[in-house]
Structure 1
Amino acid sequence: MEFRDIEIFLVLAEELHFGRTAERLHITPSRVSHVIKKIERRIGAPLFARTSRTVRLTPLGERLRDDLLPAHLRIQQAVERAVAEARGITGTLRVGYSTPWCADLLLEATQKFRARYAECTVHIQEIQLNDPHGPLRRGELDLQLSELPVAESGITAGPTVLSEPRALLVPADHPLAQRENMSMEDLADVPLMTPGGNFPQYMAAVHLPTHTPSGRAIPRGPVFTYWAEVLSLVAAGLGAFPVSARGTRYYAWPGIAFVPFLDAPPIEYGLLWPTTGHTPRAMAFVDLLADLTGTTPADE
């Protein structure tokens, strides 16, 4: 039996559906059927009992599945180890994130990455809004998942992997907090806090506008350095800050409220990496995360 035939048999044994098996393996259902019939002819007995509605393994099929699975897994692991070594997918991959939901996605990807590339360790760390691209530029990170847009010399913006509805974080006693939703025009009624340090002006123009769509000025609140300051300053009634609406599930903080926007664009999060000096392990992680989120990885 050829390796591909074994793979088709094992996937069908898991899915028990010719269509789903074909979809997983990117082949046609007729190809699946042809391979299974060929294997059954070689063995001399049916491996699957088929009706118009169901597919199930015969006892012989179950024993063959149980015997083949461990060997198939060992072969896959051996090939992946060889590929990882050939491509240099070893060592430590350092990945930054800007929000807890980005961290959750990276942790999920890390588990799959470690299963595929056992010789590579992934280290994940938070980046701060006051210096959102500094660690990547200084070589402290290989990749990061953070807010877009990004137009930085020496940094490549890869695929957008998250797109989140936008909300405004406001003091719980602010009039906006009593509303079910708000518009961009309402920003004229509350001071927006801003990150200090090296937060790019082009990002501020997108996320922290100075005027509403009709041209009304949006007041400015305190300048902050770390995210924890935002929560404290908002709770103290000193300003507001635009965030992902998903933040309601992450920040249980007294004195704050999240008000969804009706008309604001979503907050998009994308992968970033150094334009020069990126590593095979970083690009392998980009590909895996793109597969995980159903996005298309950008060209290296």
Structure 2
Amino acid sequence: MSGVEIRELECFLVLAEELHFGRAGERLYVSQSRVSQLLAALEQRVGARLVERTSRRVRLTPLGERFHAELAPAYAELAGVVERARESARGVAGRIRIGFQGTADARLMAAITAFQQGHPGCVAEIAEVPFADPFGAVRRGEVDAAIVLLPVAEPDLVLGPLFSRQQQTVAVSVRHPFASRASLAAAELTGTPLIAATAPAPAYWREAHAPSTVPAPAVRTLQEGLTLVAADRGAMLLCRPTAEYHGRRDVVFVPVEGLPDSVLGMVWHRDGETERVRAFARAVTGATDVVETPAA
């Protein structure tokens, strides 16, 4: 690494994308001749040609292709290190976008309040995450982090602090045989059509929230599911706070004994971890109803 200039590496990366000296110069705000000079200096350090240039085309040499494949991710990681250091130096400021699935209830609002009190220079914005797409908003960069229903088994996502566990209830129509029951055993749901989410929710996630082998409709949103429940097209599992929030006269929510508790967790993309995200995770952890944080 002795003597390597970061500008030479930046020039090579841009040229590898553009394969045109003029366009590379425009992106770097330098002249075409300066691009040639930077490339020549880098090739001299490497000891071989990285780019072939003719009157008709510009292309990478085989060595240049290998060099680019290794350099691009290393440069991206270096840029990330600098950005994270910059964020730490200036503190938590700007805005953080938090997605939520189901209901932005008192548990989430307590975490947001704690975050805002601790970081008045950063505005927390919230947006609903579609029931059938729990991880998409994080992956697309629409939110910085999201509070979603577990399980989460996505290799590109980090699972942070968990919210308190809640008993599950089954939503049924007022005309359903279960509607008059004070509670149910999990085994009694075996033959009940349970409404599930559609794709892009992963199959393992859909099955966890609709553990039934009886065919039932699939929905994109929670409201679609409750509408089908009211029409007696099937039943739907919901955690107790969500059931209470979405109470309606044509739907009854019956507690279910013997099912795993419903748990919410904070997730963010591995490449999108910032000081703001870490600070919000600490606020979630510090909320009174947070019970545990998974090991890294």
* Band the TM-score falls in, shorter-chain normalisation: 0.5 to 0.7
Q: Secondary structure at the match of 2:263?
A: strand
Partner of 1:202: 204
1:222 is aligned, of 194, 200, 217, to: 217
* Residue 253 of structure 2 is aligned to residue 258 of structure 1: yes
CA contact (8 A) 2:152 2:159 kept: yes
- Per the TM alignment, residue 196 of structure 1 is displaced from its structure 2 partner at its CA by 1.2
Task: Kindly provide the amino acid, as one letter, of the partner of residue 286 in structure 2.
Answer: D
Specify whether residues 298 and 195 from structure 1 end up closer, same or farther in structure 2 by C-alpha distance, changes over 3 A only: closer
Partner of 1:171: 173
* Residue 109 of structure 2 is aligned to residue 114 of structure 1: no
Q: Which runs of 5+ in 1 are unaligned?
A: 1-83, 211-217
Separation in 2, partners of 1:165, 1:222: 24
Task: Kindly provide the amino acid, as one letter, of the partner of residue 114 in structure 1.
Answer: Q
1:161 is aligned, of 142, 160, 163, to: 163
Separation in 2, partners of 1:206, 1:85: 38
1:96 is aligned, of 76, 99, 116, to: 99
Specify whether residues 297 and 222 from structure 1 end up closer, same or farther in structure 2 by C-alpha distance, changes over 3 A only: closer
Task: Kindly provide the amino acid, as one letter, of the partner of residue 166 in structure 1.
Answer: Q
Specify whether residues 115 and 246 from structure 1 end up closer, same or farther in structure 2 by C-alpha distance, changes over 3 A only: closer
- Per the TM alignment, residue 289 of structure 1 is displaced from its structure 2 partner at its CA by 1.2
Separation in 2, partners of 1:237, 1:139: 37
Partner of 1:277: 272
Separation in 1, partners of 2:202, 2:181: 31
State the Cα deviation string for residues 168-206 of structure 1 (Å, max 9, x = none). 101111111111111222223421112112111111232
- Per the TM alignment, residue 249 of structure 1 is displaced from its structure 2 partner at its CA by 2.3
Partner of 1:4: none
1:288 is aligned, of 283, 288, 291, to: 283
CA contact (8 A) 2:169 2:243 kept: no
Q: Which structure 2 residues correspond to residues 1-300 of structure 1 after superposition, within 5 A?
A: 86=89, 88-100=91-103, 102-210=104-212, 218-293=213-288, 294-297=290-293
- Per the TM alignment, residue 229 of structure 1 is displaced from its structure 2 partner at its CA by 1.0
TM-score by length of 1: 0.65
Separation in 1, partners of 2:163, 2:286: 10
CA contact (8 A) 1:286 1:297 kept: no
CA contact (8 A) 1:235 1:254 kept: no
- Per the TM alignment, residue 152 of structure 1 is displaced from its structure 2 partner at its CA by 0.8
Partner of 1:81: none
Separation in 1, partners of 2:295, 2:191: 43
Separation in 2, partners of 1:140, 1:89: 19
Q: Secondary structure at the match of 1:260?
A: strand
Task: Kindly provide the amino acid, as one letter, of the partner of residue 281 in structure 2.
Answer: V
Separation in 1, partners of 2:198, 2:113: 34
Q: Secondary structure at the match of 1:221?
A: coil
- Per the TM alignment, residue 296 of structure 1 is displaced from its structure 2 partner at its CA by 4.7
- Per the TM alignment, residue 298 of structure 1 is displaced from its structure 2 partner at its CA by 5.0
Task: Kindly provide the amino acid, as one letter, of the partner of residue 179 in structure 1.
Answer: R
How many positions carry a matched residue from both structures?
Answer: 210
TM-score by length of 2: 0.66
Partner of 2:44: none
Q: Secondary structure at the match of 1:273?
A: strand
**Percent identity over paired residues:** 29
